[in-house]
Amino acid sequence: MEKIKNNKIVKAIGFNRIVLIGVIILLYVLFSVLTPVLHAGTTFVSYERIMSALNYAYFIGFLALGVTFVIATGGIDFSIGPVMFASALISGYCLTKYNVPLPVCLLISIGVGLLFGVLNGYFVAYRFLPSFITSMASMQIAKGIGSVFTKTQSVTWPASAAENSWYRYLIKWNNIPTGLILLCIVAAICAVVLHKTRAGRYMLCIGSNKEAVRLSGVNTKRWEMLAYMICGLLAGIAAIFYVGAYTTVQPGLGDTFNNEAIAACVMGGTSMAGGLASILGSIIGAVIVALMQEGILAMGFTISYQYVLTGLIVLAAVTADIMSRKRKN
């Protein structure tokens, strides 16, 4: 066991990540076997199923990437789901009701996300509010603003082949999962930022020992705020991938996605105590979350089972994290 753990390649990817990839394969096999049994006349093994699971993995993946930065600093952001919805609603409303050009709408979506990131970051970093409370509050604000802006109507983005529907190519083009490629590119950028730049180094150190970093002469507030801004920005991007997959957005929803994105992070080895984060882990976690929801639906269960499972996964992953920390001390 120790030998495997000390292998160079295993170390580079992380033992935990390799186990998770095993979990993905296991889940896939499990669902493939169980689906025809539980839900007669259906199958799990198909290209459509995979594409459908990926659709879910994209936006959860972007949300998870963003919140990884926040968790790395030792904070939390519970507003990402509703912020994503607010982005999709406001930009979609601009597109469909005010005929704002599509590229501008995409920028509006990202801008709304970024704005919420600034709001969260300011109150956490410069006003010393607990991130838990701050993001709870901005979650309510995001839900409310989305509803107010659209006058409590749902917004439907242009469907395939309609005018202004090229944004859908971002997730799928000629049956090629372009979304996966884009997610991987953004993930790679995130990994570089987190592990190869000053910003990432400071964020991780702040998560481990903020006061020591401050006493080293680092402007901790600035870097802490930046983490929330990245998180908001990625929630705005996630919105584009959400509508790219599902077109319709309803106001007043979105909070279930927070938990799934955070679950993806903690599964992937990002510590809720801060200081330790894995971008690759968050992506793998997002894929597991997406696969599970696809499998649960395929087997004929309702989505409520997914909520129960996500909750259990968070409990298990955080417990494992805390236990491994205790062992180390």
| Rg value, the chain, Cα | 20
Q: 41 or 217, CB closer to other proteins?
A: 217
Give the shortest CB-207-to-other proteins separation in angstroms.
9
> Is 7:273 a contact under the CB 8 Å cutoff?
no
Give the shortest CB-242-to-other proteins separation in angstroms.
30
Q: 31 or 202, CB closer to other proteins?
A: 202
Q: 215 or 316, CB closer to other proteins?
A: 215
Give the shortest CB-198-to-other proteins separation in angstroms.
5
Report CA 164 to chain centroid distance, whole Å.
Answer: 26
Find all residues with CB under 8 Å of 29, minimum gap 6, and list them: none
Q: 213 or 261, CB closer to other proteins?
A: 213
Q: 97 or 198, CB closer to other proteins?
A: 198
Q: 75 or 244, CB closer to other proteins?
A: 75
Give the shortest CB-326-to-other proteins separation in angstroms.
13
Q: What DSSP letter does each residue of 220-259 carry, written as one string?
A: HHHHHHHHHHHHHHHHHHHHHHHHHHH-EE-TT--HHHHH
Give the shortest CB-191-to-other proteins separation in angstroms.
12
Q: 258 or 270, CB closer to other proteins?
A: 270
Give the shortest CB-211-to-other proteins separation in angstroms.
6
Write out the two tokens for 8. Answer: 């160079």
> Which positions touch other proteins (CB under 8 A)?
192, 196-198, 201-202, 204-205, 208-209, 211-219, 275-276, 328
> Is 57:325 a contact under the CB 8 Å cutoff?
no
Give the shortest CB-209-to-other proteins separation in angstroms.
5
Q: What DSSP letter does each residue of 83-148 carry, written as one string?
A: HHHHHHHHHHHHHHHS---HHHHHHHHHHHHHHHHHHHHIIIIIS---HHHHHHHHHHHHHHHHHH
Distance CA 329, CA 324 (A): 9
**How would you classify residue 258: left for phi > 0, otherwise alpha for psi between -120 and 50, otherwise beta?**
alpha
**Amino acid code (one letter) for 56:** Y
**Amino acid code (one letter) for 19:** V
